[in-house]
Structure 1
Amino acid sequence: MGWLDPVDAYCERTGPDYWSEPVNALTNLAFIAAALIMAGRLRGPGMGMGRVLAGVLFVIGVGSWLFHTHANRLTGLMDVLPILIFILLYVFAATRDFLGARPWVAALVTAGFLPYAALTVPLFSMVPGLGSSAGYAPVPLLILIYALLLRYRLPRIARGLAVGAGVLILSLTFRTLDQASCAVLPMGTHFLWHILNAVMLAWMIEVWRRHRSDASA
């Protein structure tokens, strides 16, 4: 398959046309809105990482828009790469700022996400019906691990991370149900993955922002 060959991965898509996934395409505006809202909340000193995360959140919306309008392998890469970049940046920020690790330690932990994913994705792939969502399943697990590590040291942050993991699990559920829902819901449920993911990613930035605000108070 070539990089520009059409891809039909979601219930709503019925052909190679630009507007074959209107709901899936338009709900990417949720990422854009979430990024702009968070950018407005990340003012003041010490918020550089948060502003970078908000910028990547904006790019996630653009990449996903391109994939759900020009559905091919190339735009699929544009869809998933910003998500991976967001994950890696957040792992670094969480390790450095929540756990208090030195930047070089946080960088090593961040690099460790790749072998962690390589080990856990095949395990999640064994879960019946999870399908391609197995590629994302290690993320809420990792967030819950951080929440567990922080439950005594930073209980407010731990609760915030647990909420984020819960929203992501719900979001992944709708992503997983997309193909199975075609018979009863022609537009599928993938659009709910977009909306809930936008909320979740903005919330994760907000959890980080609150911690930085408290630390500098």
Structure 2
Amino acid sequence: MAASWFAAVDNYCERIDASFWSEPLNAVTNAAFLVAAAYAFVRWRRAGGSDGGSLWLIVVTAIVGIGSFLFHTVAERWALLADVLPIAVFIYSYFLLAMRRYLGLGTTAAIAVTAAFVVFNMSFERLWNSIFPNFTLNGSVGYLPAAAALLVVGVLCLRKGEGAVGRALLAAACVFAMSLVFRSMDQALCPTLPIGTHFLWHILNAVVLGILMIAAITRGRGADR
């Protein structure tokens, strides 16, 4: 591993030095992801324990919590990958599941739409920065496509008659919007709020993932075809 991967990363108000526990709130609040995964696992077992797609989401959610904990304690470039990659895996996995399970697309169509979303998501931040170079939202721009996807798919589910799922996705979109606000304002509040607001991003995102996992479990595999 190149030496640059061990470079220190200091992106948040709470971190004041390079020590392991310099971000106690940002680190400890990752337990919320483990709580969400554990609760979803209990619901998954009660639902029969045979839904592989939902189980995958539960496992990824737990890994999100572990990876984010590593980043907010070790705080080196390699740990940043441990933070962001599991989040990306959850987003793309859930999008594919939604295309199949909620909107009823065939396998080929669902994969094609998901691939298009991946390309859009990966190019969105560069496009945004070319138009709004001074409006970076503290690095939160890359999550805007995921927020938009929750809204669009939620509305499509309502139109398709998937009322419970549609309402769940729209509720998740609202909570996610709040979490993005807190993530975006973290650095701006450093002078007046030294602990920052990033820890609220963790707590609210755990709620978002919990809502999404329960929706997938409740909907079940009956729509996968």
Q: TM-score, normalised by structure 1?
A: 0.93
Output the CA distance in 1 between the equivalents of 2:29 and 2:18: 19
Output the CA distance in 2 between the equivalents of 1:104 and 1:34: 31
Q: For structure 1, which runs of at least 5 residues remain unmatched after alignment?
A: none
Q: 1:117 aligns with which of 115, 121, 126?
A: 121
Superposed displacement of residue 48, structure 1: 1.2
Percent identical pairs in the alignment equals 41
Matched with 2:25 is 23
Q: After superposition, where does 1:66-215 map in structure 2 within 5 Å? A: 66-125=70-129, 126=132, 128=135, 130-153=137-160, 154-212=162-220
Output the CA distance in 1 between the equivalents of 2:127 and 2:211: 28
Number of paired residues? 216
Q: Is the 8 A contact 2:14 2:23 kept in 1?
A: yes
Output the CA distance in 2 between the equivalents of 1:119 and 1:79: 20
SS of residue matched to 2:6: coil
Output the CA distance in 1 between the equivalents of 2:96 and 2:50: 15
Q: Is the 8 A contact 1:91 1:109 kept in 2?
A: no
The range that moved more, 20-29 or 150-159, is 150-159
Query: Can you list the C-alpha shifts for 1:170-199, whole angstroms capped at 9, x where unaligned?
Result: 001000011011111111000000000001
SS of residue matched to 2:176: helix
The range that moved more, 137-146 or 103-112, is 103-112
Matched with 1:8 is 10
- Name which structure has the greater RCO, CA cutoff 8 Å, separation 6+: 2
Output the CA distance in 1 between the equivalents of 2:170 and 2:6: 39
Superposed displacement of residue 152, structure 1: 2.1
Matched with 1:32 is 34
Output the CA distance in 1 between the equivalents of 2:109 and 2:212: 21
Q: CA-atom RMSD, angstroms?
A: 1.8
Q: Is the 8 A contact 2:64 2:83 kept in 1?
A: yes
Q: For structure 2, which runs of at least 5 residues remain unmatched after alignment?
A: none
The code of the aligned residue for 1:115 comes to V
Output the CA distance in 2 between the equivalents of 1:115 and 1:107: 12
Q: Does 1:62 align with 2:70?
A: no
The range that moved more, 123-132 or 106-115, is 123-132
SS of residue matched to 2:220: helix
Superposed displacement of residue 155, structure 1: 2.2
Q: TM-score, normalised by structure 2?
A: 0.90
